[in-house]
Structure 1
């Protein structure tokens, strides 16, 4: 990629992806649930937090390293689990995994990946500077199949399991329905090919909730594996406490990128409430991660200030993959890390462990108002 005309922000990649993807794939990657209120609010909530930088602070020994689940990460940016990445580019999850490894970013492989989980692990595990490699699970309602998938992930060398808990059914994705979304014949959730057909029973959602996971399933999964167990999709402080009680090793504060329950609160609002709730529970030192609307290095810094140990980025990675393949993904991750370093330097924080909650000045306390409310 030459410098002339190259993307300089994640938004640039989104614009290029819009020109590259067909209507079917664009609806899938860009869309959210229903009126897409939560989808928009995720981004707006980060923008509504103002930074109060400190000046003349010593930062010569600064760095972006963080400790997470027994590993030292070069920086706190991970690739979120996203299904069917071969919709965006022929290299799919393999290209994203290589790009993430090249940038020292962690990757969470979706259970609905369009390539075998073993193939991704073989490709990137030998990379010495890669970030952590985690595997996402959706419990399928049949413990024999679920346990087989866990054992495959363990044998392949994945370092943690990420159980998504906020999507027992699909959201009402109007944009996908308007586009008549269909997977092309050569793209499928290959790791779930032998998954059981969901049981039917009850009235809600055509009986699909009969096989929806519960806290008992979390406890069962915790007992089946020695891998760290991360719960993804927690927004309520009481659920965060229950996750701790059921043996979770970390939590991802997430509303599924606005793709499930529309008008669910934005993650930037949920994160500090969960952090505060867990701070009041003895022994509940759960690392928190967050996703949803992260587009700038300043967003990453704000997430750390609000209690996150790391962030996950989803749609921008799919857009970069569509626009420029694996090279675009690597460049997008580098842009985000560079912006984080710039934000740290200008905010007067040398390390992420030094980021205080007081770095943020809430828009509601300012006569300037939120960015979208100011006169133009």
Structure 2
């Protein structure tokens, strides 16, 4: 019987890994793990991991006024981009809540590629379509393209091997990309970006080329200890690096300023949707802040658990787990700004028990650049 869930072009290859376990992730049948979350997490931190992130959305924005359109829709300053550069940005509602977070790639001054979250593809496309201006074309390329993420300290060496020495990713600066990189017989757009806190690359290819590119990367990565990695490790890795997940650290009701992403909100670039609300929030003092917390009592903070201070509920956990790298019970929590200072003692309601925690610095993990 055919699965009601969507599948990426790489789905048939999961069968080569007997321990792979798939879950329903926003309507997609995706691997939560291939051989174990802890093993895959550790591989990315110490060697390299390869992720299938082909469920992500890709939109092409073209036309004479493409830059002006994206300036109006996104929080970051698109005008700062040169050809071959990418930036992280957010789409906001007029009240400052977040439609989605995304990557903007400038191919030329009238052609941009947007990478958006899988669960928001339809919503984002409609939001952008509603705000189109003259001489701008918006095209959803999500089904035609696949995306792989090669992450970890060995990523550059593996990519060099897979590209047959014809491309040296170590020369690509962070948030820059190269088009038409040959990996095997396939042409790929390769960017030095990622969602793990490690060095690495995201590789965009035609959907039909994804299986051969996946195989080429795994073969080149074998001597470097490369392993396929699933959504479970992707989540624990991004959490340690304090990278936000839409629906948890960002949402319709959580602004970029509350999530600590003010660096990507350029209030001085000119008008954009949400600017007035965000400027007012900044001027009046951001009411809630995303903080790192560590459990003092034994227990693990989990998403949506209530957080208390001085006997009152002051927020909730957005993400929490036992950190695979640090072996500490850590969380990110959105709390009343009055209780956001480092060292503040809090309580987390863990299944009906009020357990002690305290505010600690985040990100919890920062990579040491390779020599």
TM-score (norm 1): 0.27
Query: Which structure's residues are more often helix, by fraction?
Result: 1
TM-score (norm 2): 0.27
Query: Which structure's residues are more often strand, by fraction?
Result: 2
